[in-house]
Structure 1
Amino acid sequence: MANLKEVKERINSVSSTQQITKAMKMVAAAKLRRAQDKIIQMRPYSQKLTAILNNISSGSEGSTDIVYAQERAVGNVLIVPITSDKGLCGAFNSNIIKATMATLENEYAGKAITIMPIGKKAFDYFRKKSYPLKADYYQLFEDVSFDNVKRAAEEVMDAFVSGQYDKVILVYNEFKNVATQIVVKEQFLPIVKTASEETSQQQQDYIVEPSKEYIIEELVPNSLKIQFYKAVLDSNASEHGARMTAMSKATDNAAELLKELKLIYNRTRQAAITNEILEIVAGANALESSD
């Protein structure tokens, strides 16, 4: 059985850890509220913009008029895994890395793969791999703003148009709620067209001015930048939700461990007191016998 000093030191250590995890949970909760507000406000705009784009671009000309929708033989692929800068958020980062590696090995084996990590965790992992790394934007989460994300999106879009990449894939966590983050693998480029009966029916509701071509030319790049920004915001909110959940569980586990340690401490203390009493009684008996 451990001595009292060891148990007491461990109790103090677990108690200090519990205070840290509780503080981190509160910080994550505060950051989550702001990040959640951003993604909730962004989603309706992004969804409506995408719906209008699909409606306008689903005409008779098809997708050939849009440079960002040109289908090519896939030889060069850019994959953008979006992780966090910090850990202590459960399986948040490892899920993205696993999904990215599965995509590389299963879907694009034999292709020329380039990795564009966003988030230090993705950068730290993939810089040790043999894949070419485009590491200009891995510190994007130090200042999450549309202007910063827009520059990254524009560079990716220009590289696709120039033929440097034939396909661009985003891998990120989609925020559902505090406890649920869903790993999403999304084709960013070329644009995936959806032509449904509902879309065809809704097309009659739009009057396009000054021309369909002008609207597409202006709308498509903005829609892609918004889509990229939404993925970053989703990942940002998911990170804080995952960290809040992880720190909440860690705090609860520390509380359970403290209960066990205090029980061990009390038992050890009682055993030590009992031993001391037995020694005193044995000493007194020995004295009486000698007399």
Structure 2
Amino acid sequence: MASARDIKKRIRSVKNIAQITRALEASSASRVRRAQARVLASRAFAEKAWEILLNVQSAGGAGGALHPLLTPRTEIKNVKIVLITSDRGLAGAFNSNIIRVARRFGERLGKPISWVAIGRKGRDSLIRAGQNVVAEFSDIPSDPTIATVSPVARVTIDEFLKGEVDEVFVAYTDYINTLTQSPVVTRLLPLIPYQTEDQVAAEYIKSAPQVSSGGKDYEYEPNPTAILDEIVPRFTILQLYQALLESQASEHSARMVAMRNASDNAAGLIEDLTLAYNKARQAAITNEILDIVGGANALQASIDTMAEEILQAHRLSMVDDVPAKPAKASSTNASKASSTAAAAPVAEAVAEGVAEADDLTIVEGIGKKMAAALVAAGIDSYEKLACASESDLRAAIENAGMRLSPTLPTWAEQAGYAVRGDWDGLKQYQAQLGRRDS
């Protein structure tokens, strides 16, 4: 899973992209309105020009040969296709659709094809595919005029009149509405409706406008042939100009819709990334809390262990610091000498590190037998006696089959004086209990 920092960087990147897509959407929206107005206004003029052309053609054909640009060739050897795309991308499938349709249509013709590319995207695609691109026109302005397409039309007309090509088609994207654009192919030269028996190729051909030909009573000055020589080249340029307007309106509409979808997708992606960021951040905080709690528990366990060790060491030091029990005063020098002689081996044993049991009989109420019973029960020092509970002491005495001493409840407290080495305090406490020195 990505870290919170990586997710935050990606959120920032997506926000920057969303700003670009919104700007492109706004720019395309302003341009598409002007392009729509131009293409809708020119359609009526193009249809009327087509109607006049058919009527003039009918009148000219009745009296003689048609105009060369209106005469179909008996044998088709070479074909030229004018492909209209955009110079820029970020328009969804606008460019790829028309390029795919144009190439499929060319394959269905089965003739040698040369290409004229209007727009960088179409040029680059055709060159990558190894097609024969004989001319290319780019940097078309957003508000083209007749002069913009005149060079393209002049090239195609000259090659057609010279017999270098037998048919000229133009492939462009037909504007239907803001959400719908249709890639189509129409025949530019000769200027007559294109008919084919190939059903696949026929799907790509745009049907000619339904206009009424004939039935019009025109008077031609000087004659229909002269009029055809004048209007047919212009109508060829008009056809190409109309295709360019249709393509530009489709391009701006496709880019506006694509950028709107991109902005919506960016907003959704930002929401998903924000949710993932919050989850990652929460997980990181949870892990930190767990680490802190785990460290605190480990520290507490270490402190408890150290405290236990210190307490144990303190207890041992208190036992080691307990002075030897003072010898009882004797009335005779012999008893003193005997006590001194008896204490000498004990002192030597202590010096040699030999541990012996404490004399528990200094506690009021404990005789030698009771002391032996307590030692047998594991209570062999003042410290253990001070820490022993009354129930433990009772159990030790009763297990030895002895009667309980009335002073048993005070044994632990008396042993506490011995542990602290407070012998005077012990004597005073025992005096309070009613003990009399012998």
User: Which TM-score applies when normalising by structure 1?
Assistant: 0.91
How far is the alpha carbon of 1:208 from its aligned partner? 3.4
How far is the alpha carbon of 1:288 from its aligned partner? 3.3
Preserved CA contact (<8 Å) 1:58 1:195: no
Is 1:99 the counterpart of 2:98? The answer is no
User: Aligned AA for 1:184?
Assistant: V
How far is the alpha carbon of 1:233 from its aligned partner? 1.1
Partner of 2:71: 70
Listed one character per residue, the Cα deviations across residues 205-252 of structure 1 (whole Å, up to 9, x for unaligned) are x44344322322222121111111011111111111111111111111
How far is the alpha carbon of 1:39 from its aligned partner? 1.2
Is 1:253 the counterpart of 2:255? The answer is no
Distance 1:13 1:130 in 2: 37
Could you say if the C-alpha distance between residues 140 and 46 of structure 1 is closer, same or farther in structure 2, counting changes exceeding 3 Å?
farther
**What does 1:271-290 correspond to in 2, within 5 Å?**
271-289=283-301, 290=303
**What does 1:115-130 correspond to in 2, within 5 Å?**
115-130=115-130
Could you say if the C-alpha distance between residues 97 and 195 of structure 1 is closer, same or farther in structure 2, counting changes exceeding 3 Å?
closer
Preserved CA contact (<8 Å) 2:42 2:242: yes
How far is the alpha carbon of 1:32 from its aligned partner? 1.5
How far is the alpha carbon of 1:22 from its aligned partner? 0.8
Is 1:244 the counterpart of 2:295? The answer is no
User: Aligned AA for 2:107?
Assistant: E
Is 1:86 the counterpart of 2:91? The answer is no
**What does 1:146-225 correspond to in 2, within 5 Å?**
146-193=146-193, 198-201=212-215, 203-204=216-217, 206-225=218-237
How far is the alpha carbon of 1:183 from its aligned partner? 0.7
Which blocks of at least 5 consecutive residues in structure 1 are unaligned? Answer: none
Flag the structure with larger Rg: 2
Distance 2:285 2:210 in 1: 80
- CA RMSD for the aligned pairs? 2.1
Which blocks of at least 5 consecutive residues in structure 2 are unaligned? Answer: 194-207, 305-438
Is 1:39 the counterpart of 2:39? The answer is yes
How far is the alpha carbon of 1:60 from its aligned partner? 6.9
Bigger relative contact order, structure 1 or 2 (CA pairs below 8 A, ≥6 apart): 1
How far is the alpha carbon of 1:142 from its aligned partner? 4.4
Distance 2:273 2:188 in 1: 52
Could you say if the C-alpha distance between residues 196 and 261 of structure 1 is closer, same or farther in structure 2, counting changes exceeding 3 Å?
closer
How far is the alpha carbon of 1:118 from its aligned partner? 0.8
Partner of 2:24: 24
How far is the alpha carbon of 1:47 from its aligned partner? 1.1
Could you say if the C-alpha distance between residues 283 and 26 of structure 1 is closer, same or farther in structure 2, counting changes exceeding 3 Å?
same
Distance 1:288 1:97 in 2: 74
Could you say if the C-alpha distance between residues 278 and 132 of structure 1 is closer, same or farther in structure 2, counting changes exceeding 3 Å?
closer
> Which has the higher mean CA deviation after the structures are superposed, 61-70 or 111-120?
61-70
Could you say if the C-alpha distance between residues 40 and 75 of structure 1 is closer, same or farther in structure 2, counting changes exceeding 3 Å?
same
User: Which TM-score applies when normalising by structure 2?
Assistant: 0.62
Helix, strand or coil for the counterpart of 1:263?
Answer: helix
Q: In the alignment, which of 266, 284, 291 is matched to residue 278 of structure 2?
A: 266
Preserved CA contact (<8 Å) 1:140 1:149: no
> How many residues in Structure 1 have an aligned counterpart in Structure 2?
286
How far is the alpha carbon of 1:181 from its aligned partner? 1.0
Helix, strand or coil for the counterpart of 2:118?
Answer: coil
User: Aligned AA for 1:256?
Assistant: G
How far is the alpha carbon of 1:36 from its aligned partner? 1.8
Distance 2:220 2:276 in 1: 76
Distance 2:211 2:173 in 1: 30
How far is the alpha carbon of 1:17 from its aligned partner? 0.7
How far is the alpha carbon of 1:49 from its aligned partner? 0.8
Helix, strand or coil for the counterpart of 1:271?
Answer: helix
Distance 1:129 1:199 in 2: 42
User: Aligned AA for 1:90?
Assistant: G
